[in-house]
Amino acid sequence: MKINWNNKYTTIAVYSFIVSISIILFYLAISQVSIFTDKLDSILIIFQPFIIGFTIAYIINFLLDFYENKVFENKYIKRIKLKSKRGISILLAYISAFFIISMVIKFLLPQVTESIIGLMNDIPTYISNTTSFVNDLIKNLNIEEQYSKVLMDNYNSFVNYVISFVTDLIPAIGAFLARTASSIWNLILGIIVSVYLLIDKEKLCALSKKITYALFSESKAESIIALVHKSNYTFGRFLIGKIIDSLIIGVLTFIILTIFRMPYTVLVSVIVGITNVIPFFGPFIGAIPSFIIILFVSPIQALWFLLIILFIQQLDGNVIGPKILGDTIGISAFWVLFSILVAGKILGIVGMIIGVPLFAVFYSIVKTFIENKLKKKGLKTETKDYIK
């Protein structure tokens, strides 16, 4: 029997069949997501040295470009004939990276470790003093017995949570160090892989372009290459900018907290600086544990700490951040929040860090596609033109 494809009901039936199959396939994919994630984990374990190597190479490449394009292009050094400019630049880049890491480990890590050990030893005393402070405060405020009982129950729950958190902190740190130690071999392999990637980065980029031009038409290949360059610019500038911004915030926090004679200045500054790498939620993630740490020592100082953090984050959000990052991302605050929540749910902390530039690239692709479609229809491309 010959099918009349122009028949309206035939078209509806075909579309219904396709939609039904799509729904079934989607359901099967969702129901088997655990199997997929297990397979993905096993694949990632195999490729872990290469993933680590690519990540190291991507970060070290900024130092490599500095030495190649700034240092060795100096008119005085440029006169010196170097047979292996790339090799010396790579060596200097890795020496610089190892020097920075070793300085952090030598000067910062002992103080942070000492602060953590001191905090854990002093927590029983802090809890006892804070409990006395809360009891005296409730008595002085003449709060009714039923309300004071609710307050004390909530306070006791909070104290129990803190005790449980501190009790589990040492095993958690130990487990983290054990995982790190077990990944030492992968890290060594990753460093070796990164060196080879940096040595042949031009050839690898050229090979990627060659494959792209072979698989796609010239116009599509050029669009893909332009997208890759834009993605690299977005990721690179955001990543390095965030690291510099967080370093400035950590140092600034240390200086201000030292002036105000806050307790555990180094530990709190490290927490604030590291969590500042996470966009939007970073300041809150860093401020909450820091506030709790200072609260046990002095509730008044804890309130002052909140005001200091509020000032620092306003300074970062309105002055320091825009100066360093500029308009790198190019998406609104809503999409920043959306990308952090979604990527954080999928990839955890790593997702919260890279989610914003990743979504910015996706947003750029969709925006370009939509605007091209509108141009072909002779319509306006600016969003403001569609506001009524």
The pLDDT tens digits for 212-246 are: 888 888 888 888 888 888 888 877 778 888 888 88
Q: What is the pLDDT of residue 348?
A: 72
Q: d(Cα 247, Cα 226) in Å, to the nearest integer? A: 31
Instruction: Please report how the helices 145-182 and 184-199 are oriented relative to each other, as an axis angle in degrees rounded to 10.
Output: 60
| Residue 49 pLDDT grade (very low, low, confident, very high; cuts 50, 70, 90) | confident
Q: Does a structural domain hold residue 388?
A: no
Count of all residues that appear for the chain in the document: 388
Give the count of domains, the chain: 2
Residue-level pLDDT at 170 = 61
173 HSE (CA, 13 A, CB side): 9
Query: Cα–chain-centroid distance for residue 15?
Result: 42
Nearest Cα residue to 307 out of 245, 254, 257, 248: 257
pLDDT at 36 over 70: no
Average pLDDT of the segment spanning 261-283 = 84
The structure tokens listed for 94 are 């890795």
Q: How crowded is residue 138: how many other Cβ atoms within 10 Å of its Cβ?
A: 17
Give how far the C-alpha of residue 167 lies from the chain's centroid of Cα atoms, to the nearest Å. Answer: 27
Which range among 203-217, 219-233, 302-316 shows the weakest confidence by mean pLDDT? 219-233
Name which residue leads in pLDDT, 380 or 328: 380
Question: What's the whole-number mean pLDDT along residues 67-93?
Answer: 73
Average pLDDT of the residues in 265-270: 87
Q: Is residue 39 domain-resident?
A: yes
Find out whether 90 and 64 touch, Cβ atoms under 8 Å: yes
Confidence category of residue 168, pLDDT binned at 50, 70, 90: low
Average pLDDT over residues 269-295: 82
pTM of the model: 0.70
pLDDT at residue 1, as a whole number: 47
Structural domain contains residue 245? yes
Which range is least confidently modeled, 134-143, 259-268, 301-310, 339-348? Answer: 134-143
* pLDDT at position 82: 56
Residue 197 has pLDDT above 80, yes or no: yes
Domain with 40 in it:
6-45
pLDDT of residue 255: 92
Residue 284 lies in a domain: yes
Average pLDDT of the segment spanning 99-104 = 86
Provide mean pLDDT across the span 143-160. Answer: 73
Residue 120 resides in a domain: no
The two tokens of residue 385 are 């033109």
pLDDT on residue 95: 93
Q: Is residue 354 part of a domain?
A: yes
Determine the longest span between alpha carbons in the chain, in angstroms.
92
Is residue 233 in some structural domain?
yes
Dump pLDDT digits (tens) for 360-374.
778 777 777 787 777
Range of weakest confidence among 101-105, 305-309, 351-355: 351-355
